[in-house]
A and B are shown apart, each in its own frame.
Chain A
C-alpha cells in the first residue's frame, strides 16, 4: 500500500508536468493574445456614389489593446472603378494619426474590404477614434460607395439598434438619417488584438504551481504514513474503496436504461442526432438562422445541455429512489448521485461520436485545440454533480423539487445559446446572461471544436469558477443534511 501511495503521487506529479507543457503547446498564441473583431450592423442600403471631395465620417469605440484593421462593406456598382479613397484615422483631439489611400480597383462588389492599419495603433483600448473616408477623384459612374445600417440580424428578424451620437455616420458633415429619422452607422468591423499577461508569465506560474503541488503531495504522503486526515487522501481512499461499487452502480444504470429496447445503446447516438435534426429543420428553414456551420453549432449545444439535463434529473431522484438501500446498508451517500452523474457521463462520451461524424461530414477541420475538450467536459461534470447534489438534497425534504426543476431546466434551455447566437442578447442583459454556467461551457466547447483555437486565459478561469461554485455549494449542502436524509425518505 505504501508503494501505491508513492506511485499515485508520482503519477499525479508527472501528469501535471506533462499536461502543463502540452497545454502550452496546444493553446499556443491564445495564451498571449486574442485577435478579434466586433460585429457590424447589418447592411441596410448603400449610401449612393461617393464622388470627389465627398466625405464620410464615423466614430467608433475601440475595445482592443491594439487596433489593426477596419473592415467596411463596399459596393462598386459592378464596375471596375479607378477612384482612390483616402482613409484617415482621427483621434480624440481631432488629429489625423494615420492616412492610407485605397485603390477602388481592388474592391469587390457587395463585399467586405479590409483597411489595414500599419503599424497597428497600440494602447487603443477604450478610446474613441474617427474614420474619415474621402473620395479623391470620384465622378459619377466611376466611384464606389459604402453600406450602412442600424439593425442587427438575428435569423429572420432584424432587431433595430440605437446608435449613439458618438457612433453615428456623418455624410459631408451632416448626420445621416434613414427614412424613419433614425441615425445610422457604417457597416464597420473594428479588428484588433487583446494581449494577456498570462502568456508572458506562463512558465513562471507553471513552476510555482509545480512547487505547490510537490509540497502538497509530500504533505499527503506524510499524512498517509502517519494515518492523519487529509482531504485529498480521503478522496482517493474512498474512491479506491468504493470503486467496485461505483462501477456496479454505473453499469446497473446503463444496463437498465436500455434494457428491453430494440436499439439499445444506439439511442445514445441517435438521441442527439435526432434532436439536432429537428432543431436544424426548425431553425434553419423557419427561422432562417445565419449561424455558420449550424449543424455542429447545434450539436455542441445539444450534447452539453442534454448531459446536464440528464445528470441533474437522475441525481434528483438518486437519494429518494434508493431509499430502501439507504435504510438498510451503510454506503457513503455521495456515491448515489456520483454514480448517476457518471453514467450520464458515459452517455455524453458516446454522443461525442455522432458529433465527430457530423464534424467530418461538414468538413469542420479538427485542430489540436480539440484536445482541450476534456477540460470543458470536466467542468460540465463538476457543474452537473454539484447541481445534482443540491437537487438530491432538496428532493428529500420537498418532493416539489422534481416539478420545479422541470420548469427550471426548461428555462435554462432557453437561457443557453443552444440554437441561437449569443449576439441576439441585448447588451444590458449580458452580465446577467453570462451568469449561466452552461453558457461558458458551451462557448468553450464551440470555440475549441469549431473555431479551432483555445479561448483566452480569462475564459478558463471564468468557466472554472462558475462551475466550481455550484459544486462547492452542492457538496456543502449535501454534507450538512445527509444525516437527516434517513428520517425523511
Chain B
C-alpha cells in the first residue's frame, strides 16, 4: 500500500542559472539573487491499497515524474510524507547505472547491487537474467560494444527479475525488437499480477484503460480528480481536445 499525505515539492529556481562562485558573489552583492518558486507538486494526497493498479495521467509538466521520484525516495518532498508498505522497485529509466567499460556480466552485478538486490539473489538469478536478455554470447564483452537494443534488453532483464511489493513504472517498457517487445510486455504484466501494488505513468490512455483499477489525474502539480478509470479517462480526453 502507498499512502501519500499532502505532498508538496517546491523547486527554487534561480532566474539566471548561477553555476560559479564568482557569479554567486556578484549576484549576492547586487542583491539580485532572485528565485522563482515553482510548485512541482501541490498538496497531493492519495491512498493506494495493496494490490491496486493505479494509473497517473496528465499533460507534460503536470508533475507525474516528480511524484514517482518522491514515492521511490529519490526526491524528498518539501512538505508532506509518504508511507510505503513493502519494498519498492522503481523502473524509471533502465540502465542508468551501467558502466560502459565493464562487461555485461560485471554490469549485471553492478546494476543489480544498485537496484538493491542481494548478492545471493543475484547469483541465483544470474542465469535467468542472461537467458532472458538473450545475450549469452556477448555477456563477456564490454557493454561499450553493445547496440542500444542490446543494452536495453540487458537492463530490462536485470530490472525485471524481482517480484516487488510495490512497482513504480514510468511508461510501460517495451524494448528491443518485436519479439523481445512482446516478451518484455508479458514479463511486465507478470510482475504486475501476483497482488503487486503498481503505480503506472503512461501517455497511452489505451494502456491505462486496460490495466488500471483507478486513475489519478494531475495537472500543474495538483490532483484534478481521482477515481474510476473509465470516467476520468473520458474527462481527461475531453479536456485535452478543447
Genuine A/B complex: yes
Interface residues of A (CB under 8 A from B): 244-245, 247-249, 251-252, 255-256, 259-260, 324-331, 398-400, 404, 483, 486-487
A403's nearest neighbour on chain B, judged by CB, is: B20
Q: Is the CB of B114 within 8 A of A331?
A: yes
Residues of chain A within 8 A of B93, CB atoms compared: 324, 327-328
Query: A251 CA to B99 CA in the complex, in Å?
Result: 12
Residues of chain B within 8 A of A326, CB atoms compared: 74
Q: Is the CB of B114 within 8 A of A255?
A: no
Residues of chain B within 8 A of A324, CB atoms compared: 93, 96-97
Q: Is the CB of B113 within 8 A of A248?
A: yes
**Contact A328-B90, Cβ < 8 Å, known A252-B110, A486-B75:** yes
Residues of chain A within 8 A of B19, CB atoms compared: 398-399
Interface size of B by Cβ–Cβ distance < 8 Å?
31
B76's nearest neighbour on chain A, judged by CB, is: A483
Residue B11 lies at the interface, judged by CB distance under 8 Å to chain A? yes
The 9 closest A-B pairs by CB, nearest first: A330-B73, A248-B113, A245-B113, A328-B96, A324-B96, A483-B76, A256-B101, A244-B119, A400-B20
Residues of chain B within 8 A of A259, CB atoms compared: 101
Interface residues of B (CB under 8 A from A): 11-12, 19-22, 24, 69, 72-76, 90, 92-93, 96-97, 99, 101-102, 106, 109-110, 113-119
Residues of chain B within 8 A of A398, CB atoms compared: 19-21, 24
Residues of chain A within 8 A of B117, CB atoms compared: 244
Query: A399 CA to B19 CA in the complex, in Å?
Result: 6
A487's nearest neighbour on chain B, judged by CB, is: B11
Query: A245 CA to B110 CA in the complex, in Å?
Result: 7
Q: Is the CB of A256 within 8 A of B99?
A: yes
Query: A345 CA to B187 CA in the complex, in Å?
Result: 42
Residues of chain A within 8 A of B90, CB atoms compared: 328-330
User: What is the predominant secondary structure among interface residues of chain A facing chain B?
Assistant: helix
- Extra contacts besides A260-B101, A325-B114 (15): CB < 8 Å: A244-B113, A244-B117, A249-B110, A249-B113, A252-B102, A252-B110, A255-B101, A259-B101, A324-B97, A327-B74, A328-B96, A329-B72, A398-B20, A399-B19, A399-B20
**Contact A325-B73, Cβ < 8 Å, known A248-B110, A252-B102:** no
Query: A245 CA to B21 CA in the complex, in Å?
Result: 34
Q: List 5 A-B contacts (CB under 8 A).
A: A248-B110, A327-B93, A328-B97, A329-B90, A330-B74
Residues of chain A within 8 A of B97, CB atoms compared: 324-325, 328-329
User: What is the predominant secondary structure among interface residues of chain B facing chain A?
Assistant: loop
**A329 contacts which of B21, B22, B96 (Cβ < 8 Å)?**
B96
Please give the distance in Å from A463's CB to the nearest CB on chain B.
32
Query: A334 CA to B173 CA in the complex, in Å?
Result: 31
Query: A330 CA to B72 CA in the complex, in Å?
Result: 7
B118's nearest neighbour on chain A, judged by CB, is: A244
Residues of chain B within 8 A of A251, CB atoms compared: 106
Please give the distance in Å from A339's CB to the nearest CB on chain B.
11
**Contact A325-B11, Cβ < 8 Å, known A244-B113, A244-B118, A252-B102:** no
Query: A330 CA to B74 CA in the complex, in Å?
Result: 5
Query: A256 CA to B107 CA in the complex, in Å?
Result: 12
Please give the distance in Å from A149's CB to the nearest CB on chain B.
49
Query: A353 CA to B113 CA in the complex, in Å?
Result: 31
Q: Is the CB of B99 within 8 A of A328?
A: no
Q: Is the CB of A400 within 8 A of B22?
A: yes
Please give the distance in Å from B160's CB to the nearest CB on chain A.
15
B19's nearest neighbour on chain A, judged by CB, is: A399
**A327 contacts which of B76, B96, B114, B119 (Cβ < 8 Å)?**
B96
Residues of chain A within 8 A of B11, CB atoms compared: 487
Q: Is the CB of B102 within 8 A of A256?
A: yes
A488's nearest neighbour on chain B, judged by CB, is: B19
Query: A279 CA to B114 CA in the complex, in Å?
Result: 42
Most buried by B among A245, A251, A328, A400: A328
Residues of chain B within 8 A of A255, CB atoms compared: 101-102, 106
A324's nearest neighbour on chain B, judged by CB, is: B96
Q: Is the CB of A329 within 8 A of B75?
A: no
Residues of chain A within 8 A of B116, CB atoms compared: 245, 329, 331
Query: A249 CA to B97 CA in the complex, in Å?
Result: 10
Query: A487 CA to B17 CA in the complex, in Å?
Result: 12
Q: Is the CB of B76 within 8 A of A245?
A: no
Please give the distance in Å from A244's CB to the nearest CB on chain B.
5
Query: A344 CA to B109 CA in the complex, in Å?
Result: 21
**B96 contacts which of A249, A325, A483, A487 (Cβ < 8 Å)?**
A325
Query: A400 CA to B90 CA in the complex, in Å?
Result: 34
